[in-house]
Chain A
Amino acid sequence: MRIRPFEYHTAETIKEALTILEKYGTEIKVIAGGTDLLLAMKQKKILPHHLLNLLEINDLDYINDEPSEIRIGALAKHSYIASHPIIRNEATVLAEATGMIGSWQIRNVATIGGNLCNASPAADSAPPLLALNAKIVIADSKNEKNLPISSFFTGPGTTLLEPDQLLKEIIIPKTKSRRKANAYLKLTRRRGVDLALVGVAFHGELDESGEKLKNVAIAMGGVAPTPIRALEAEAELTDLSYEKAIKKIPIAAKAAVAATQPITDIRATAEYRKDIVDVYVRRTATKVLNILFNKDG
């Protein structure tokens, strides 16, 4: 599998990158970690005439802790995110999910921006960000805009990013709740170095009284053309006490399954993916509820 010849560009600032993107339009592909792109080029799924390297751009791999949000630069590597204390404390589910991507070697070079822009329906970083109501910052040579991540993915391998645009940053809003918890589970065919056949992220918070669940968010990867939220399942659990919520989990899990439209491929059948969504929603929900309400479980 040899890579076809291409012209290589490198940018040292975002501005410079955006100028180059504008010039080459659909002829150019952006490369950061390259862990997905180079494979696709070797397999000749894409044959770009130009590549634009972003890794020389200074200071786009940050994780910034701000009063009301966490900002992650698009070039932040998975290993950095997975081990960062802010992420581990404030967005545990993202630390868990990015820590399960590929192998150590992959996590040391692959970036979160790349994981999102590659737009695999099974991208591990997507369900946590969906569950955390993250926003993304998209830039072109004229301006920048914030969008909810839920609007970013348009299909398998596609996003609303135009050829002259870059994903610059991911913003995770901080919740004001006294207590929050979240978890990620990923189905793989072996215990490491595998992609997600199914990924489930579950997030929940306690209301002011400390008695009831609120802001429940369930997001899933690998079970639809894009990563998706299970809104009806979330509604099933919202505003419930621990005991009621625990009892309701199986119903919520069924509702989550109903939100999926998985495919059958060599990795798993649609039926099995649905079975796993059911199990993983139950497991993540139970885990999160037990943490939130201080139960042993």
Chain B
Amino acid sequence: MSEFDIVNKSYPQIDGLNKATGKTEFVSDLVLPNMLYGRVLRSPYAHARIDHIDISKAKSLRGVKAVITYDDTPRIKFGPRSEDWTILADGKVRFYGDEVAAVAAVDEDIAEEALDLIKVEYTELPAVFDPVEAMKPDAPLVHENKENNLAAEFKIEAGDVDQDLKNSYFVYKDRFYTNQVYQAYLEPMGALASVDLSGRITLWTGTQIPNMMRITYAKALGISLDKLRVIVPDYGGGFGAKMENNVHLITIVLAQKAGQPVKLINTRFDDFVGGNPRVAMYIDIKLGVTKDGFITGKDVHIVGTNGARTVYAPVIVATACYRPDSLYRFKSVRAIGHTVYTNTVPTSCFRGFGNSQMTFVLESALDMIAEELNIDPAELRLKNGIGENEVSIHGWKITSNGLKDCVLLATKKANWNQKRKKRKFFRGIGLACCNHVSGNRAFAREFDGGAGIVRIGRDGNVTVYYGESDMGQGQKTVFAQIVAERLGVPLDIITVEQVDTDISPFGMGSFATRGTLMGGNGVLKAAEDAFKQLAAVAADMLQAPPDEVECKKGKFFLKSSPQKSVSFKEVAEMATFKRAGAPVVGVGFYKPPTELPDPKTKYGNISPAYPFGCHIAEVEVDPDTGQITVTDYVAANDIGRAINPMAVEGQIQGGVAQGLGWTLMENMALDDKGKLINPDFLDYVIPCVMDVPEIKPILVEPVDPEGPYGAKGIGEPALNPVMAAITNAIYNATGIRIKELPITAEKMLKKLKEMKNKIK
């Protein structure tokens, strides 16, 4: 029996019925009076000088209300991490899909027709698409002032790597490549913008970072923060992509220019060529071990694709450089990460944030080491895995830690020992582990933490305001459960409001698997505050001291004599009357005990809690066609105490399916001119239900001292180990090590043939 009434129990998403029945209003569904529709004209070249733009014909088309180019924007250089953005192209386009001009018209057909009437003369320039090529001295420069196209360099070192590698019994050395993939959320990026008479802007958009976005956009528009209100309605997924993007700013400038509200939602084509896909990386690794399987040193060099302007690629490359260093007990580590400008779409966050790229590499390397040393791969992980209450090489304070249980439970469920022993032709089983964070102090700007507001009106209904962002992953449900548990009321009287920067707390947002822990603690503290206020009123009504009062299932009662009770509703009403109509408002916040990493050594504790995981995949390879089938999948994730086990299972299953797609089929393919040749779901193939086996989640639930009710995050660690689990299984099935993603059937067959020729 659970000690809780509401948390640690599976409930359907509180907005699930509305979504399933089509009642939910997503960003794309919003309509305002006199609203116009916007469209963006994008560059057909990867790199070109704009010689001339003629918008006269487009402007005179009936129904067109605004046509904008760079000259109509505030002409400010800005960017979330590096000031290399302008709202529209300033004399030069830098990637296929770069924003050149935009139109607002009374309907979408006219807006699109107007795009065709804008005449742009370009002079094509030499371009570069590969980050390694881009670093060469004679490569074309994406930005004239960025030497060697270097967007950022990250260095980290702890211990004596050279010495440790020299003393190692075996050093595994190889180069891996992780490709560029698209987040493939259901609703493309876009926004609705409205400007009032004072010039104050309201922006409705699906964003994971309403407050951080506001900082970037206020700068871009040359306005003060208070002139921009951001509202986050329900939106169709993000997976990391929905941070800053020019499409939002273009919508605002169009609305300013037209003097009418403008809605601009990307077409799927626009979203493919102008979104913010995953950072592709070349990763060189050297990993040493002792004879009995203890990891010694790790030396890594990463070259990552920034794209034509900086979104978050440098921090993602940095994360790849060192995040899994806190998964095992390394003696020494060193990494250099170069983030390099290319004439390709700007890259950014995607579930895993660099850790997924590096986990693929590290867990592949460990698999090779296990073979070299003739140690079981699971045993190798158990031997080196960081433990509870340990401090990692970079100063991360690991508190709750279910890594060992994840390995033990996953191997048991997958029947690992027996299956590894009994080899079958072209069938294999593979394992990979991962760690992650629940919030990243190094990424959050201004402050870290979470806050909440809990309002109880005279009817006893509870409204929760939070500052993160529910993109469909289930934050609202989790927060409602936490508040209901703390107040002692049923779940169905809780409403969770959309994030509105005029009303909600200023949350940092949804990234770094931080929502449940940071936002959850924020609303928990707010619920505590509200509870105290209500308990005082209830105590009066029950004629007892406040600390004698408890509330469960919507009833306040005395701990000593539970039959003496008064309903939550009556208490709420009394509280409101006593205060002449003022509702009970609880406000609370959570400041995590994190430490900003030292700028030089990067030593510090970036998160209050660290989730772990161990996944096991089984595959079958068709030796004639190269087709790879994932036949079975066990996913054990340490998530602290699950607030909603069913929602956690959903996250795990989604993460595995997404990782499977990346491993086996997904790839953004460019032609030799840098043009994306598969900007649609016909040729950008993502898995369908038939490709995904039954995924068996195992929830490992060590109660975390910092988490709300002991919970940690799950979003990203659901995906991190998938690629290596599958490719390690492929290795087990075929003896072929996959070093480049994705491994399509055709590529697999080619490798099988090469191996056959070698054996001959």
Chain A residues within CB distance 8 Å of chain B: 1-2, 5, 187, 189-195, 266-269, 272, 275-276, 279
Alpha-carbon gap, A267 to B665, bound state (A) = 11
- 15 pairs, A vs B, C-beta closer than 8 Å: A1-B268, A2-B112, A187-B625, A189-B744, A190-B685, A190-B687, A190-B691, A192-B690, A194-B685, A194-B688, A195-B682, A266-B677, A267-B683, A275-B749, A279-B625
Which residues of A are found within 8 Å of B685, using beta-carbon distances?
189-190, 194
3 shortest interchain CB distances as A-B pairs: A191-B690, A192-B690, A279-B624
- Say whether B415 faces chain A, with CB atoms less than 8 Å apart: no
Alpha-carbon gap, A275 to B626, bound state (A) = 10
- With contacts A2-B108, A266-B678, A279-B625 taken as known, whether A272 is within 8 angstroms of B689 at the C-beta atoms is no
CB distance from B665 to the nearest CB of A (A): 6
* Residue from the list A5, A189, A192, A266 in contact with B745, Cβ < 8 A: A189
Which residues of A are found within 8 Å of B267, using beta-carbon distances?
1
Which residues of B are found within 8 Å of A195, using beta-carbon distances?
682
Which residues of B are found within 8 Å of A272, using beta-carbon distances?
746, 749
Alpha-carbon gap, A157 to B686, bound state (A) = 26
Alpha-carbon gap, A267 to B667, bound state (A) = 11
The answer to whether A192 touches B689 (Cβ under 8 A) is yes
Which residues of B are found within 8 Å of A191, using beta-carbon distances?
688, 690-691
Alpha-carbon gap, A187 to B624, bound state (A) = 12
* New contact pairs (5) apart from A187-B625, A269-B746, CB-CB < 8 Å: A1-B269, A191-B688, A192-B689, A194-B688, A279-B624
In chain B, positions 238-271 with a C-beta closer than 8 Å to chain A are 267-269
Which residues of A are found within 8 Å of B745, using beta-carbon distances?
189
Main secondary structure of the interface of B (DSSP, over half): loop
Alpha-carbon gap, A192 to B112, bound state (A) = 33
The answer to whether A266 touches B683 (Cβ under 8 A) is yes
* Residue from the list A192, A268, A275, A276 in contact with B688, Cβ < 8 A: A192
Alpha-carbon gap, A122 to B732, bound state (A) = 35
Which residues of A are found within 8 Å of B691, using beta-carbon distances?
190-192
* Residue of A whose beta carbon sits closest to that of B664: A190
Alpha-carbon gap, A190 to B629, bound state (A) = 10
Which residues of A are found within 8 Å of B678, using beta-carbon distances?
266
Alpha-carbon gap, A2 to B268, bound state (A) = 12
Which residues of B are found within 8 Å of A189, using beta-carbon distances?
665, 685, 744-745
CB distance from A87 to the nearest CB of B (A): 23
Which residues of B are found within 8 Å of A269, using beta-carbon distances?
746
Which residues of B are found within 8 Å of A187, using beta-carbon distances?
625
Alpha-carbon gap, A276 to B745, bound state (A) = 11
Alpha-carbon gap, A2 to B746, bound state (A) = 35
CB distance from A205 to the nearest CB of B (A): 27
Alpha-carbon gap, A187 to B744, bound state (A) = 13
* Residue of B whose beta carbon sits closest to that of A279: B624
The answer to whether B269 touches A268 (Cβ under 8 A) is no
Which residues of A are found within 8 Å of B686, using beta-carbon distances?
190
Alpha-carbon gap, A267 to B683, bound state (A) = 7
* Residue from the list A1, A5, A190, A276 in contact with B690, Cβ < 8 A: A190
* Residue from the list B108, B624, B677, B746 in contact with A268, Cβ < 8 A: B746
Which residues of A are found within 8 Å of B749, using beta-carbon distances?
272, 275
Which residues of B are found within 8 Å of A193, using beta-carbon distances?
688
- Say whether B754 faces chain A, with CB atoms less than 8 Å apart: no
B606-626 near A? 1/0 per residue, CB < 8 Å = 000000000000000000110
CB distance from B118 to the nearest CB of A (A): 16
